[in-house]
Amino acid sequence: MTSLQKIAPTPARPIMVRNPFNGQIVGEIAEHSGAEVAATVLRAKTAQREFRYSTPAVRRALLNALAAEIAKDAENLARIISSEMGKTIREARNEVRRAQNTLKLSGDAATFLDGEALHCAIVEGGVDRLATITYEPVGVIGAITPFNYPLNLLCHKLGPAIAAGNAVVAKPSPKAPLAAARLFELTQKANWPRDLFQVIHGGADCALSLVHAPIDLLSFTGGPRAGLALKNASGLIRCLMELGGNDPLFVLPDADLDKAVATAVAIVLKSPAKVAQP
């Protein structure tokens, strides 16, 4: 599959994906209606009811299997990312590599979610008593991602959610939905449980449909205005939001200027491994 192929086109509600540099259509994908979004979330709930009892070893194996499928499809994914959101092929390849690491690290984290045991002797009457803390999955995570890192930012939501025993319904930016659609296909190649991870497509209406559906947590990365609108619409649903920002970069007088420039613009001068990762 290449970035120029159509993915599940629906003539009545197509989303045309265009290269931001030349306006060329690089893909077409179907927009989901509110009813379709609700049905998707309900299927995710069914899948999560069983998956919540999976072992850390199973969750880690699923995430590692997906990372392996991404590695096999790395060049195709990089070209999809580059064509739909405009970053250079070198930057896109770096994003694909980071996405693999994100999933692997999430799989490793799954093995440490076994809770805690706390001694109660710090209070009167607590001698010989032990309190236990256990971690329970939230349920279905609604994951809304932006256009600038269409693969890795989705993996940043997907990896920890699966590691903790949750299901995920993702809504990527309509400006760059093709990488997410391809990631869904790769979960099938990796033999993930049916409906554990699903992708819906659309703009603001689709996002509102997602927060109005019976999800258990909303994870949103994007702008503050959209984040506030979704928070106001979500009611009592728990929200995790990363609303962007511009962090300063300080280059001190004794810095290696060449390395500082390479890090600042995320361009590898000699080897991809030499660029600092956040």
Q: Is residue 150 part of a domain?
A: yes
Concatenating the DSSP letter of every residue in 238-268 gives EEEEE----------TTS-HHHHHHHHHT--
How confident is the model at residue 266, as a pLDDT?
Answer: 59
Return the minimum-mean-pLDDT range out of 178-182, 218-222, 247-251.
247-251
Q: Is residue 71 part of a domain?
A: yes
Highest mean pLDDT among 10-14, 50-54, 128-132, 240-244: 50-54
SS3 27: strand
User: Higher-confidence residue: 244 or 66?
Assistant: 66
Mean pLDDT for the stretch of residues 146-169: 97
Residue type, 149: Y
| pLDDT > 70 fraction of the chain, expressed in percent and rounded | 90
Task: Read off the pLDDT band of 185 (50, 70, 90).
Answer: very high
Q: Is residue 162 part of a domain?
A: yes
Does residue 204 have a pLDDT over 80? Answer: yes
Q: Is residue 68 part of a domain?
A: yes
Q: Is residue 277 part of a domain?
A: no
Q: What's the total number of domains in the chain? A: 1
- Cα–Cα dist 233/235, whole Å: 6
How confident is the model at residue 70, as a pLDDT?
Answer: 98
Q: Is residue 268 part of a domain?
A: no
How confident is the model at residue 76, as a pLDDT?
Answer: 98
Average predicted confidence (pLDDT) for the chain: 89
Q: What is the pTM of this model?
A: 0.84
SS3 223: coil
Q: Is residue 81 part of a domain?
A: yes
Does residue 30 have a pLDDT over 90? Answer: yes
Q: Which two tokens stand for residue 111?
A: 């093995």
**For residue 58, how many other CB atoms are within 10 A of its CB?**
15
How confident is the model at residue 128, as a pLDDT?
Answer: 86
Instruction: Please write the tens of the pLDDT for every residue from 62-85.
Output: 999 999 999 999 999 999 999 999
246 backbone dihedrals φ, ψ, rounded to 5°: -120, 100
CATH of the domain at 57: 3.40.605.10
What domain range is 214 assigned to? 32-112+137-244
Instruction: Please write the tens of the pLDDT for every residue from 101-140.
Output: 999 999 999 988 888 888 888 888 888 899 999 889 999 9
Q: Max Cα separation, the chain?
A: 72
User: Higher-confidence residue: 242 or 13?
Assistant: 242
How confident is the model at residue 74, as a pLDDT?
Answer: 98
CB 27 within 8 A of CB 82: no
Does residue 275 have a pLDDT over 50? Answer: no
User: Higher-confidence residue: 11 or 276?
Assistant: 11
How confident is the model at residue 92, as a pLDDT?
Answer: 96
Q: Is residue 4 part of a domain?
A: no
User: Higher-confidence residue: 12 or 196?
Assistant: 196
